[in-house]
């Protein structure tokens, strides 16, 4: 049985269906990220798991316990669900010290004073904040406040940790550092975690699995590498990263060395691309080509090539990003920072079939 189960859950706010028949299963000790744009239903889904919103249909379980089932008239209050939650705003009480903030969940549960001291000290050591125990919360940096919020969520040893965009208020450098620290902490504790973010890179770094959401529905649940390289559809592909999306039609499908390859034809181009096993000839498709897999001057076999003209170059430190026009197509191409091509330069673009992905529609 999964540590967290969401079965055919829906939620309306007036005429708006915020969450539409969502099902998820989070295995014990794993981290699942709900990823999607604003308004896609990810935070509402998290709040229903927490018990801060009540689902209209479906069932939610934590471990072997049903915590919400409207059809059965069952709803377990948030404080009885054995969950810890970290909010986007941190919700640190400014009039309390670090120690008092972390101790609060234990004190409202009326735990003995000795146990409170021991658990808070353990949480402080875990977050490397022992030296800040007596500091007022108002004297903390953003990163330190985030650590306090996590410590407070973990101090009463919850079964499940829920996190709603906890890094979004940090600056870019600190956010990158905290992603790594948060992932290491979750793996060390082995705590089941459901995490919400709209940041694709954050989801890639943190997750065992990612559930991509759009307009209240889950479009795909898979590991980060699968989501990136083998998206289920055009919407998932377009949200994760910045791929080149090429409209085409399949003419032939073959199984080659354990892979499914389709010969496709687009507007002024044709070639071989990889796709799912059930792809068939004659289907309209979108070919997904990530900017970093395209090579200048390459003529891969099997694969696809295009000729084009460099229009722009953007220096990004570790790489150059080129805009290349090929007929009616416009490509984004990532290249090494020392690969310098001027605007107006004629180029050949190539990508091997196995580095592409083809989806219907």
Q: Quick: pLDDT tens for 23-79.
A: 999 999 999 999 999 999 999 999 999 999 999 999 999 999 999 999 999 999 999
Quick one: pLDDT at residue 179? Answer: 92
Q: For 225-243, write each residue's pLDDT tens digit.
A: 999 999 999 999 999 989 9
Give the β-pairing of 209-214 and 31-35.
parallel
Neighbour order of strands in the sheet with 83-86:
83-86, 160-164, 192-197, 31-35, 209-214, 217-222
Q: Residue 90 pLDDT more than 90?
A: no
Q: Residue 104 pLDDT more than 80?
A: yes
Structural domains in the chain?
4-235 (3.40.50.300), 243-360 (2.40.50.140)
CB burial readout 240-256, b (16+ within 10 A) else e: bbebbebebebeebeee
CA distance 239 to 176: 20
Quick one: pLDDT at residue 133? Answer: 92
Judged by DSSP in three states, 155 sits in coil
Please report which confidence band the pLDDT of residue 126 belongs to, taking 50, 70 and 90 as the band edges.
confident
Q: For 324-357, write each residue's pLDDT tens digit.
A: 999 999 999 999 988 899 999 999 999 999 999 9
pTM above 0.85, yes or no: yes
Mean pLDDT of the residues in the chain: 94
Q: Residue 1 pLDDT more than 80?
A: no
Q: Judge contact between 139 and 23, C-beta under 8 A.
A: no
Quick one: pLDDT at residue 143? Answer: 85
């Amino acid at each position: 049985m999964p540590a967290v189960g969401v079965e055919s859950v829906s939620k309306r706010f007036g005429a708006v269906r915020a969450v539409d028949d969502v099902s998820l299963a989070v295995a014990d000790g794993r981290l699942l990220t709900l990823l999607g744009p604003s308004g896609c239903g990810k935070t509402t889904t998290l709040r229903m798991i927490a018990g801060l919103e009540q689902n209209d249909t479906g069932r939610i379980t934590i471990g072997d316990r049903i915590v919400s089932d409207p059809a059965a008239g069952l709803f377990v209050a948030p404080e009885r669900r054995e969950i810890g939650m970290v909010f986007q705003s941190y919700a640190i009480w400014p009039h309390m010290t670090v120690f008092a903030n972390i101790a609060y969940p234990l004190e409202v549960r009326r735990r003995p004073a000795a146990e409170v001291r021991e658990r808070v000290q353990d949480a402080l050591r875990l977050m490397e904040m022992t030296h800040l125990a007596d500091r007022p919360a108002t004297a903390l940096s953003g990163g330190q406040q985030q650590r306090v919020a996590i410590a407070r969520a973990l101090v009463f040893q919850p079964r499940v940790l829920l996190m709603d965009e906890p890094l979004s208020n940090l600056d870019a450098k600190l956010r990158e550092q905290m992603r790594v620290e948060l992932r290491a902490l979750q793996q060390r504790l082995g705590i089941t975690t459901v995490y919400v973010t709209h940041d694709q890179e954050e989801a890639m770094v943190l997750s065992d699995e990612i559930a991509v959401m759009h307009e209240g529905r889950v479009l795909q649940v898979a590991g980060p590498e699968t989501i990136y390289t083998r998206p289920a559809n055009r919407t998932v592909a377009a949200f994760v990263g910045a791929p080149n999306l090429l409209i085409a039609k399949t003419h032939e499908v073959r199984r080659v060395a354990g892979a499914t390859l389709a010969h496709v034809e687009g507007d002024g181009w044709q070639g071989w691309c990889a796709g799912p096993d059930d792809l068939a000839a004659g289907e309209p498709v979108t070919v997904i080509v990530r900017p970093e897999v395209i090579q200048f001057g390459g003529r891969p076999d099997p694969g696809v090539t295009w000729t084009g003209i460099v229009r722009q170059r953007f220096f990004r430190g570790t790489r150059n990003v080129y805009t290349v026009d090929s007929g009616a197509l416009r490509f984004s191409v990532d290249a090494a920072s020392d690969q310098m091509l001027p605007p107006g330069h004629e180029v050949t673009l190539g990508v091997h079939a196995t580095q592409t992905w083809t989806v219907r529609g």
